[in-house]
């Protein structure tokens, strides 16, 4: 009997915990409430299945536990029942998968008017780069990184001269404008993750990865690194501030461009790093 009681308690306890415990997702700050909705659908379907299976089991134990003289029923299989269960499960699975794939399609389709913002991860800090007046980011490469050129921009690419460099400081974004985050790393894997935006993506040295979102409320949000990147991993934090249009423009005005930061050099860009 203890078993029956505990099985029922597992179901009741889990549901109550889900409903009343203080631990739940952070209030969303991006357009990805579609993702939250898909999670809710999944919670409902899986929750019902979990409760049904465990309660059915509890009932079986209660009803059919051994008593003197009891004999089990002999029934090797029941094709009809098995097919029914398969079909119903198929529908349940589809009910989660189909909306999921629609939202994924949206997630991987970047709107054409999205502004590009580059995030560069390195052990164990974040830097950012925004396109200048020309709206274009200049080319960059890991092999060009020096202490004077920490993001590894190609010095002879005109698109890069007016890029705004935000090194090891906070990133600001304007509210309501879609942004495409271009993600780059110069050493190991990192992952740019802001829980309130719901989105994340790994950064891989040698590649540029991306995701997009639209900030939907102003505020200060913590950036966490979500891919193990060595012993400083938990301390690789950053800050993203979502501003109103005016605040954002004011902030942008104070930032320095690549040209302003780089000492003029006539010769080559492969000058050794000075420490």
Partner 1 sequence: MVDVTPGSVGPIPPAEVAEMELYHPHSWWTKYVFSQDAKVIAIQYSCTALAIGLVALVLSWLMRLQLGFPGTFDFITPEAYYQFITMHGMIMVIYLLTALFLGGFGNYLIPLMVGARDMVFPYVNMLSYWIYLLAVLLLVAGFFAPGGPTGAGWTLYPPQAIMAGTPGGEDWGIIVMLSSLILFIIGFTMGGLNYVVTVLQGRTRGMTLMRMPLTVWGIFTATVMALLAFPALFVACVMMLLDRVLGTSFFMPAIVEMGEQLQHSGGSPILFQHLFWFFGHPEVYIVALPAFGIVSDLISTHARKNIFGYRMMVWAIVGIGALSFVVWAHHMYVSGMHPYFGFFFATTTLIIAIPTAIKVYNWVLTLWRGDIHLTIPMLFALGFIVTFVNGGLTGLFLGNVVVDVPLSDTMFVVAHFHMVMGVAPIMVIFGAIYHWYPKVTGRMLNHAMGMFHFWVTFVGAYLIFFPMHYLGLMGVPRRYNELSDMGLIGESAHHLNAFISIMAFIVGFAQLVFLFNLIWSIRHGKEAGGNPWRATTLEWQTAHTPPTHGNFGKELPIVYRWAYDYSVPGAKEDFIPQNEPGSFGPSREPA
- What is the DSSP code string of 118-177? EEEEETTEEEEEE--TTS-PPPB-GGG--SSSTT-B-TT-HHHHT-EEEETS-EEEETT-
Q: What would the two tokens of residue 60 be?
A: 């079986």
Q: Provide the pairing of β-strand 256-257 with 237-243.
A: unpaired
Among 172, 184, 190, 198, binds Cu ion (CB under 5 A): 190
Place of tokens 């993506």: 201
Q: What would the two tokens of residue 265 be?
A: 């050099």
Place of tokens 């974040």: 126
Place of tokens 């309130």: 196
Among 12, 15, 16, 65, binds partner 1 (CB under 8 A): 65
- Name which of Cu ion, partner 1, none residue 236 binds, using a CB cut-off of 5 to 8 Å depending on partner kind: Cu ion
Ranges within 227-246 binding Cu ion (CB under 5 A): 229, 236
Ranges within 18-57 binding partner 1 (CB under 8 A): 21-26, 32, 34-35, 38-39, 42, 45-46, 49-50, 53-54, 56-57
- Name which of Cu ion, partner 1, none residue 89 binds, using a CB cut-off of 5 to 8 Å depending on partner kind: partner 1
Q: Cα separation of 152 and 128, whole Å?
A: 12
Ranges within 3-62 binding Cu ion (CB under 5 A): none
Question: Any contact of residue 199 with Cu ion (CB under 5 A)?
Answer: no
Question: Any contact of residue 158 with partner 1 (CB under 8 A)?
Answer: no
Would you call 220 helix, strand, or coil by DSSP? strand
| 8 Å CB contact between 159 and 138 | yes
CB of 46 or CB of 249, closer to partner 1: 46
- What is the DSSP code string of 95-113? HHHHHHHHHHHHHHS--TT
In the complex, the smallest distance separating the C-beta of residue 123 from Cu ion, rounded to whole angstroms, is: 7
Q: Cα separation of 182 and 118, whole Å?
A: 5
| 8 Å CB contact between 115 and 178 | yes
CB of 64 or CB of 245, closer to partner 1: 64
CB of 39 or CB of 252, closer to partner 1: 39
- Name which of Cu ion, partner 1, none residue 205 binds, using a CB cut-off of 5 to 8 Å depending on partner kind: partner 1
Question: Any contact of residue 74 with partner 1 (CB under 8 A)?
Answer: yes
Among 224, 252, 259, 261, binds partner 1 (CB under 8 A): 224
Question: Any contact of residue 268 with partner 1 (CB under 8 A)?
Answer: no
CB of 137 or CB of 186, closer to partner 1: 186
The binding site for Cu ion (CB under 5 A) comprises 190, 225, 229, 236
């Amino acid at each position: 009997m203890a078993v029956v009681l505990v099985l029922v308690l597992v179901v009741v306890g889990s549901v109550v915990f889900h409903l009343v415990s203080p631990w739940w997702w952070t209030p969303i700050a991006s357009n990805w409430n579609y993702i939250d909705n898909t999670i809710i659908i999944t919670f409902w379907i899986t929750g019902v299945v979990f409760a049904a299976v465990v309660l059915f089991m509890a009932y079986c134990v209660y009803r059919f536990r051994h008593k003197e003289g009891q004999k089990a029923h002999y029934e090797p299989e029941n094709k009809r029942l098995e097919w029914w269960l398969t079909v119903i499960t198929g529908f349940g699975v589809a009910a989660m998968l189909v909306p999921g794939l629609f939202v994924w399609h949206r997630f991987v389709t970047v709107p054409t008017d999205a502004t590009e913002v580059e995030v560069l991860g390195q052990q164990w800090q974040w830097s950012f780069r925004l396109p200048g007046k020309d709206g274009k980011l200049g080319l960059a490469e890991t092999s060009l990184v020096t202490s004077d050129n920490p993001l590894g921009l190609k010095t002879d690419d005109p698109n890069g001269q007016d890029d705004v460099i935000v090194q090891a400081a906070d990133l600001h974004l304007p509210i309501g404008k879609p942004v495409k985050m271009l993600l780059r790393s110069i050493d190991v894997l990192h992952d740019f993750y802001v829980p309130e935006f719901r989105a994340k993506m790994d950064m891989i040295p040698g590649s540029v990865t991306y995701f997009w979102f639209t900030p939907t409320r102003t505020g200060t949000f913590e950036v966490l690194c979500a891919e193990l990147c060595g012993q400083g991993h938990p301390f690789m934090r950053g800050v993203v501030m979502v501003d109103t249009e005016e605040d954002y423009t004011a902030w942008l005005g104070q930032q320095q461009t690549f040209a302003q930061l780089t000492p003029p050099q006539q010769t080559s860009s492969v000058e050794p790093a000075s420490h």
